């Protein structure tokens, strides 16, 4: 399309923090209009209404210089006046799926007659704008990966602002900030996938009702603007030397408790001093502390390494106390001392400093015990602005609380979750707040919506999580603030959240309740990639059927505007995860356009970093070497399954560039040597070194597969070169990374030249799958895989299990695969899983950090290959092999999506023969193989083996 609209914004600046801005324009539709197309984009997210009706939201994630826009065909426009209203939420910070650009909105409505544009509505200075005062900006991030938690006060802004007859005469005119093509949005590209779904799901049950009392005071303090001013990235590895300080003023000598919490990934001191008394604590632990009458000096050491430099302080004293920033001349409550040192360590292939000597001034502050002693460091002290301090952290209030009593749960308490007009009446409690535990039955990702009737100022806190143990213990992820707060106006009201969240369980706590309130409904509008329910599997084994279902549901909840790792904690497109997830997706849904979009986004990261980044597009710039390599392999798999040669031509320059970049990291021994994140598994492998075996082996296979892609588009010189590189690297692996005495491929070579003493299943598995071991060495590894030695590092994540299953299936060890699946996934089912966990071992008392993790959904792929036996023989399934194998089942049936439609398979053991029914598109050439000695009938006819 031709953009004539201008980029506009309000007066909040280029990088406003958690900004919510409203824009409106009234217009008249030309009388001869036949159709109208709305095109728009915004940075960061928009929600658009026409005459008060929700039209959609967006845009999809992308790289800032190739920003996406959306289009909607407008129907139902009125004769005479209409209004378009757009709400824009600009983050003002980077996340793990967004790079901070700058604030802006661009919108254009084209009116057509006889396929010609006859009139236009364009964003310009005539649009009216206002800050949406209902959103509280002093929020806290939902995690180190996501944006700000939603805190909404319905009293503070007119809920009818998007309606036609709303009076916007007091609003300001928008400001034009630039024309189409301005920086940072050099070009706008059309959305390359359909709009996501909007599927209403109601909870399954209200499980409990309690009376609770939260900790009395709390503060979530964003340290990033104070220690890294002017930086908007989301980079991990932020090194700090400094302190947070405050004066706590008490009216009397009192005793109470306090907690100190950081991001769970922080390498922090967990140390604070109160009036000179030193405390060494841990995340979320209650510490008993004494305050004296008057001023008390609290000094918190925030030195360490962080992904998200945020500190959480919570206090519970018999009376509320006052907090004041020392030496402050305004109403600031906290100050920072420092920074004495700051650094952001990027793992992108370059050497980083491993140790830092503490600055002398930083160490000297540790000795401070009084305000007078603090005077010496006054030049280092800066106020923390109160808008960087959140006092509405719903997660803290939901975790740090006292359970006063459990109340009965009669049937009326279930009315709030029913899809009718019944309601739950909630009465005020004498001592505390009313808390409901609500189960949605499965994990979902979507927008919370509710309808209620309440007095103004009633607070509804929504705290969302994924798992409850059988003893009732809730699994809290301390670095996940998955929550929302709604403060009501008077009367009956509805609200639909603007931020999608992943969860299964909801704690709804009603606070500040002065009179009865009614809750009419609570639901979630599930948002996922739109796809038909094509892939299927069912059999005579109920457990396997359940494993298939939780795996498929996991993939669906992790299919958004990209493949994401998980709906709750990160919602990020991880490059390596997407390799496995794509293969699972092909058998469950066949979402080729979603996979293509992911591979394209990943390819663009080579223009920011030396290698394809670990997750994209992200405010955290990072290279995870194995993930870079898996992107190359994922491109080959995409072509195998889709047959999309045009995409290979499009992405080939980045594939070739990646090969060239890897050559820059090859050392004199012919091995890849790189400073980067060298993780493969959540297991104690010895991979924190520059020369790592598994990624060298993976690169051999990736070079072979890229050589194949080069051949498909006629780049034969590159094909020969890539094959040569693969052979040379394979030779170097066998020469330098094999331990002859231990008869094993080692994990790594240390910086001093010493070979790793660690032996791992993972390393030898990847060497095996990459066909880097030959002869006796290959036989040795096969023995390791089928009989894992006790002293080897064992597989600890379903991500690596995916590769393990591939190896075992190639060895014909189908029973081992199925036994392992029944053990690992059966354990999840035993503990009420409805989606697949990131891991399966207890971590600090919890089952898994993430309970819906798509890298764990391997059974969809395994069942499609192992049971249904469907594989493409030619790209895009123009020719397919079908090798059904009951593997002990009495019967099975299923469907596999392919670009031409689907393949339906039914297989049953009738004793005398195997009855096999196959239906597939006529244009697909099929080869049928069976490994059984039993007679087989295919579609009613005797099958003759060739």
What pLDDT, in 10s, does the model give residues 154-171?
A: 999 999 999 999 999 999
Entry pTM? 0.97
Mean pLDDT of 20-28: 98
Residue 941 burial (CB count, 10 A): 9
Q: Establish if 302 belongs to a structural domain.
A: yes
Residues 179 and 120 in one domain: yes
Residue 284, pLDDT score: 83
Residues 712 and 774 in one domain: yes
Q: Establish if 499 belongs to a structural domain.
A: yes
Q: Establish if 813 belongs to a structural domain.
A: no
Residues 52 and 159 in one domain: yes
Q: Cis link prior to 809 (omega < 30° from 0)?
A: no
Q: Which two tokens stand for residue 692?
A: 């790592």
Query: Look-up: residue for tokens 């986004």?
Result: 601
Residues 311 and 364 in one domain: yes
Residues 225 and 365 in one domain: yes
Residues 453 and 327 in one domain: no
- Our measurement of the distance from residue 928's CA atom to the centroid of its chain's CA atoms, rounded to an integer in Å, reads 40
Q: What is the pLDDT of residues 354-391, one digit of tens each?
A: 778 999 999 999 999 999 999 999 999 999 999 999 99
Element (DSSP H or E) covering residue 851? none
- pLDDT-derived band at 264 (thresholds 50, 70, 90) equals confident
Distance between CA atoms of 205 and 609, rounded to whole angstroms? 48
Distance between CA atoms of 640 and 629, rounded to whole angstroms? 17
Residue 230 burial (CB count, 10 A): 6
Mean pLDDT of 389-408: 95
Residue 930, pLDDT score: 83
Using an 8 Å Cβ cutoff, are 135 and 487 in contact? no
- pLDDT-derived band at 351 (thresholds 50, 70, 90) equals confident
Q: Establish if 875 belongs to a structural domain.
A: no
Residues 170 and 203 in one domain: no
Which CATH number is 759's domain given? 1.50.10.10
For the chain, how many residues are written?
A: 946
As to burial, measured by CB atoms within 10 angstroms (0-12 exposed, 13-18 middle, 19+ buried), residue 19 is buried
Q: Which of 347, 364, 394 is the last residue of a domain?
A: 394
Q: Which of 503, 526, 549 is the last residue of a domain?
A: 526
Residues 260 and 369 in one domain: yes
Q: What is the pLDDT of residues 459-501, one digit of tens each?
A: 999 999 999 988 888 888 767 899 999 999 999 999 999 999 9
Q: Establish if 120 belongs to a structural domain.
A: yes
Element (DSSP H or E) covering residue 102? none
Query: How many domains is the chain built from?
Result: 4
Q: Cis link prior to 339 (omega < 30° from 0)?
A: yes
Q: Establish if 831 belongs to a structural domain.
A: no
Between residues 944 and 190, which one has the greater pLDDT? Answer: 190
Using an 8 Å Cβ cutoff, are 680 and 758 in contact? no
Q: Establish if 827 belongs to a structural domain.
A: no
Residues 443 and 384 in one domain: no
Residues 15 and 151 in one domain: yes
Q: Which range of residues forms the domain containing residue 712?
A: 665-796
Q: Which of 492, 507, 526 is the last residue of a domain?
A: 526
Distance between CA atoms of 66 and 790, rounded to whole angstroms? 51
Which CATH number is 127's domain given? 2.60.120.260
Phi and psi at residue 446, to the nearest 5°: 180, -170
Q: Establish if 586 belongs to a structural domain.
A: no
Residues 330 and 387 in one domain: yes
Residues 223 and 364 in one domain: yes
All residues at 6 or more sequence positions from 623 whose CB lies less than 8 Å from its CB, including other chains = 347, 348, 349, 609, 610, 611, 612, 613, 614, 674, 676, 677
């Amino acid at each position: 399309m031709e953009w004539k609209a201008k980029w506009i914004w309000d007066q909040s600046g280029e990088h406003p923090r958690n900004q919510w801005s409203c824009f409106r324009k009234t217009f008249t539709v030309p009388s001869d209009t036949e159709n109208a197309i709305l095109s728009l984009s915004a940075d960061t997210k928009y929600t658009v209404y026409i005459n008060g009706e929700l039209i959609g939201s967006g845009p999809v994630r992308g790289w800032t210089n190739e920003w996406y826009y959306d289009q909607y065909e407008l129907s139902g426009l009125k004769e005479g006046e209409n209004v378009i209203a757009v709400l824009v939420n600009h983050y003002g910070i980077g996340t793990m799926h967004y790079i901070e650009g700058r604030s802006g909105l661009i919108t254009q409505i084209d009116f057509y007659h006889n396929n010609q544009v006859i009139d236009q509505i364009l964003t310009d200075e005539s649009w009216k704008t206002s800050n949406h005062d209902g959103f509280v900006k002093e929020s806290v991030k939902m995690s180190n990966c996501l944006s700000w938690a939603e805190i909404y006060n319905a009293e503070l802004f007119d809920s009818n602002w998007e309606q036609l007859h709303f009076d916007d005469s007091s609003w300001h005119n928008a400001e034009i900030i630039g024309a189409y093509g301005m920086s940072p949005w050099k070009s706008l590209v059309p959305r390359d996938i359909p709009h996501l779904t909007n599927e209403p799901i109601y909870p399954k049950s209200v499980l409990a009702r309690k009376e609770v009392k939260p900790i009395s005071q709390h503060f979530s303090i964003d340290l990033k603007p104070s220690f890294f001013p002017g930086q908007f990235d989301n980079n991990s590895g932020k090194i700090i030397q400094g302190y947070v300080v405050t004066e706590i003023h008490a009216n009397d000598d009192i005793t109470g408790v306090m907690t100190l919490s950081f991001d769970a990934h922080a390498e922090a001191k967990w140390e604070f001093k109160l009036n000179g008394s030193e405390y060494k604590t841990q995340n979320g632990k209650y510490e008993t502390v004494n305050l004296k009458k008057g001023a008390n000096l609290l000094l918190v050491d925030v030195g360490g390494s962080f992904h998200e430099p945020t500190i959480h302080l919570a206090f519970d004293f018999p009376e509320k106390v006052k907090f004041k920033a020392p030496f402050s001349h305004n109403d600031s409550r906290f100050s920072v001392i420092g920074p004495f040192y700051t650094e952001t360590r990027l793992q992108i292939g370059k050497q980083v400093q491993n140790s830092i000597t503490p600055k002398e001034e930083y160490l000297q502050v540790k000795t401070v015990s009084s305000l007078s002693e603090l005077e010496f460091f006054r030049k280092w002290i800066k106020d923390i602005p109160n808008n960087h301090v959140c006092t509405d952290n719903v997660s803290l209030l939901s975790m740090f609380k006292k359970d006063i009593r459990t109340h009965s749960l009669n049937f009326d308490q279930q009315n709030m979750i029913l899809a009718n007009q019944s309601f739950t009446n909630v009465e005020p409690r004498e001592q505390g707040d009313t808390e409901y535990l609500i189960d949605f039955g499965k994990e979902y990702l979507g927008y919370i919506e509710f309808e209620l009737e309440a007095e103004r100022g009633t607070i509804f806190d929504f705290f969302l999580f994924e798992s409850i143990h059988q003893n009732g213990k809730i699994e809290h992820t301390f670095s996940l603030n998955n929550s929302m707060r709604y403060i009501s106006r008077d009367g009956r009201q509805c609200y639909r959240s603007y931020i999608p969240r992943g969860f299964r369980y909801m704690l709804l706590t009603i606070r500040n309740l002065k009179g009865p309130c009614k809750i009419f409904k609570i639901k979630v509008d599930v948002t996922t990639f739109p796809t038909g329910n094509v892939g299927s599997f069912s059999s005579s084994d109920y457990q396997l059927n359940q494993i298939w279902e939780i795996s498929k549901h996991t993939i669906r909840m992790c299919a958004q505007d990209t493949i994401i790792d998980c709906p709750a904690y990160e919602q990020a497109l991880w490059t390596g995860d997407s390799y496995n997830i794509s293969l699972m997706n092909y058998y469950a849904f066949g979402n080729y356009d979603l996979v293509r979009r992911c591979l394209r986004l990943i390819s663009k990261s080579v223009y920011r970093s030396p290698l394809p980044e670990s997750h994209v597009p992200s405010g955290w710039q990072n290279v995870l070497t194995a993930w870079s390599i898996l992107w190359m392999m994922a491109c080959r798999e995409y072509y195998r399954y889709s047959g999309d040669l045009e995409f290979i031509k499009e992405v080939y320059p980045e594939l070739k560039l990646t090969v060239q970049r890897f050559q820059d990291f090859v050392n004199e021994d012919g091995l890849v040597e790189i400073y980067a994140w060298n993780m493969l598994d959540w297991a104690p492998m010895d991979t924190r070194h520059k020369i790592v075996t598994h990624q060298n082996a993976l690169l051999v296979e990736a070079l072979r597969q890229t050589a194949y892609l080069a051949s498909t588009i006629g780049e034969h010189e590159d094909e020969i070169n890539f094959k040569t590189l693969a052979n040379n690297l394979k030779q170097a692996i066998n020469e330098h990374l094999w331990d002859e005495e231990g008869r094993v491929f080692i994990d790594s070579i240390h910086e001093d030249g010493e070979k790793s003493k660690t032996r791992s299943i993972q390393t030898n598995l990847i060497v095996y799958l990459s066909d880097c071991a030959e002869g006796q060495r290959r036989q040795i590894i096969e023995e390791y895989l089928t009989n894992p030695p006790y002293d080897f590092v064992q597989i600890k994540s379903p991500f690596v299990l995916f590769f393990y299953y591939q190896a075992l299936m190639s060895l014909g060890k189908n029973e081992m695969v199925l036994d392992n699946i029944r053990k690992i996934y059966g354990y999840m089912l035993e503990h009420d899983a409805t989606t697949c966990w990131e891991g399966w071992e207890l971590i600090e008392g919890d089952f898994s950090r993430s309970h819906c993790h798509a890298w764990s959904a391997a059974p969809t792929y395994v069942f499609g290959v192992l049971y249904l036996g469907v594989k493409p023989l030619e790209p895009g399934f123009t020719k397919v092999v079908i090798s059904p194998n009951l593997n002990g089942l009495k019967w099975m049936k299923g469907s596999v999506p392919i670009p031409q439609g689907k393949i339906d398979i039914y297989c049953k053991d009738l004793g005398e023969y195997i009855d096999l029914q196959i239906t597939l598109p006529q244009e697909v050439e099929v080869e049928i193989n069976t490994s059984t000695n039993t007679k087989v009938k295919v579609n009613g006819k005797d099958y003759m083996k060739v």
